[in-house]
Amino acid sequence: MSPKVYINGEIFEKEDARISVYDHGVLYGDGVFEGIRVYNGEIFRCSKHMDRLYASARAIALEIPISKDEMVDAMHRTLDANGTPDAYIRLLVTRGIGTLGLNPYECHDPQVIIIADSIALYPPEYYEKGLELVSVATLRNHPNAVNPRIKSLNYLNNILAKIECIQAGVGEAIMLNKDGYVAECTGDNIFTVRNGALVTPPVHAGILEGITRQVVIELAREAGIETREQDMTRFDLYVAEECFLTGTAAEIIPVVRIDSREIGDGQPGPVTLMLLKMFRDQTTNNTG
């Protein structure tokens, strides 16, 4: 069955869901979005996603035309229309219709778009056998240019890095920041395990503050695992005992090879597998 799409209070069939070509979201990537998981009919970490969406909008001076509570109601309405107890929501807010110039203050009627569908970012076997990564030349956006903490509709930086990893024949790309430190992958945060401690790049490295990233940090601390946010180089990745990625779409996926170097013993490690089980238990019960 074709998914149904919410646009500004109305539900449309996928083939009838349209916005203007003069919308600045189309013309310039001017807008914000969230990717959100739904487990057993419940929106996972809903309040965290709403906080991040509205913070991203505030950062680009975009006024979302409905409240957070109204947005949550709209997501539930979209889920009900699709009859999907387990889904991936893509929620977008565009600047709205404007002129061919850049001036955002000439735009009117921001568009609220909600898609509820399924997503499979990586093949199932990658979750069992692990993923291979490559570090790429495309750097993560400088925070003083387009701050990576803004989840904007302009993902060209990530797409350019994705092109590089596809051309290299691997599943995902590691993006460095302007100082040569590890930032994140094209759509996921990155973690390593070394000497039993969990390590991930800090926010100041130029990363998106991932919702799943935060869940994993909470789970690790609950399990008594030392967890640190610190600057990392590629050397730190190469010598790690374990590595994995986190993201709303990816959830938690093991990494077994980086830049042709085997990580640990080349198999998903015990800490990764434990956290993956804890995460799946939480989402199955949707206690988040």
**Residues belonging to the active site:** 151
CA–CA dist 93, 49 (Å, integer): 13
By 3-state DSSP, what share of the chain in percent is helix, strand and coil, each rounded to 5?
35, 30, 40
134-156 burial string, b = 16+ CB within 10 Å, else e? bbbebbbbebeebebebbbbbee
Distance from C-alpha of 108 to C-alpha of 100, rounded to nearest angstrom: 13
CB 189 within 8 A of CB 247: yes
Q: Which residues pair with 38 in a beta bridge?
A: 43, 87
CA distances to 1, 122, 183, 192 from 170, rounded to whole Å, are 32, 11, 18, 19
Q: What residues form DSSP beta bridges with 184?
A: 175
Residues whose CB is less than 8 angstroms from the CB of residue 250 and which lie 6 or more positions away in sequence, other chains included? 121, 122, 187, 188, 212
Q: What is the 3-state secondary structure (H, E, C) of 235-262?
A: HHHHCCCEEEEEECCCEEEEEEEECCEE
- Picking from 230, 223, 162, the residue whose alpha carbon sits closest to that of residue 191 is 230
